[in-house]
Amino acid sequence: MWKMLKVMLVLLLLVAGFPTTSNAYGWGFKKGTNHEPPEVGKYGTILEQNGGYYIDNSGEKVVYLTFDNGYEAGYTEPILDVLKKEEVPATFFLTGHYVRSEPDLVKRMAEDGHIIGNHSYHHPDFTNISKEEFREELKTLDSAIHKITGQEKLQYVRPPRGTFNEQTIQWANELGYIHVFWSLAFVDWHSDKKQGWESAYRQVMDQIHPGAIILLHTVSEDNAAALVHFITDLRKQGYTFKSLDDLVIKDIMPNPLLGL
């Protein structure tokens, strides 16, 4: 009898470390057009209830550039060159593999004033790991970044493959991270499928909307070549480029125009 009780206790302890819901969502939406944001359905409600961002809802013509870096294909440096020349801030969400293999580029991102975000160390499905494993994924990546840049802790997290649920967002909140998804993206992670810079440019310009958080992958030669073109043309349309820190600060600061 005592043996059975011990087995049950162990099972309960194991279960307690895993998500309390079986739901696993893959971030996605129907693309926005005509300068209108995409409709994200229930995902927007989940973020409203649990925290996180995918867009700046202020209505201002601002854009937030974010890049996901899992491995290097030779295009991050020219991307950084464009960003520096155009004085555009960005956030780079990095994995452990990228940090281990490209410390000089990681160091440059920080030295150029860009934000480094946490994309996990091993790129797992957050909804299929325990709370302790989740913590280790983020903390290990933080530690790797700290050794290169001296930064104590990363603030923003983007779940691998955009897979999440309410519990994983809450776990991140408890650890002091803010989830950042996106409102503009396209298939750009196949480095062997080049379509020309005009294709990447058109995808951005066709989907652009006020408050867009753009997701790009640095393995794309098309993206690297298109970057300066859509930065220039979006500015002509009245858009400005801000960092995620600007978005979060704006979100928590009182608005004097509203009497808050």
Q: What is the per-residue pLDDT across 116-128, written as a single tens digit (0 to 9) for each?
A: 999 999 999 999 9
Catalytic annotation, pick one of 179, 188, 217, 222: 217
Pairing of strands 163-164, 156-157: unpaired
Best CA proximity match to 184, nearest among 203, 202, 199, 169: 203
Domains of the chain, CATH where assigned: 52-250 (3.20.20.370)
Q: Does residue 68 have an active-site annotation?
A: yes
Catalytic annotation, pick one of 56, 68, 142, 222: 68
CA distance 131 to 115: 25
Percentage of residues of the chain with pLDDT beyond 90: 81
Tell me how many helices (H) and strands (E) the chain has: 10, 9
**Residue pLDDT, tens place only, 12-54:** 334 444 444 458 999 989 898 999 999 999 999 999 999 999 9
3-class state of residue 34 by DSSP:
coil
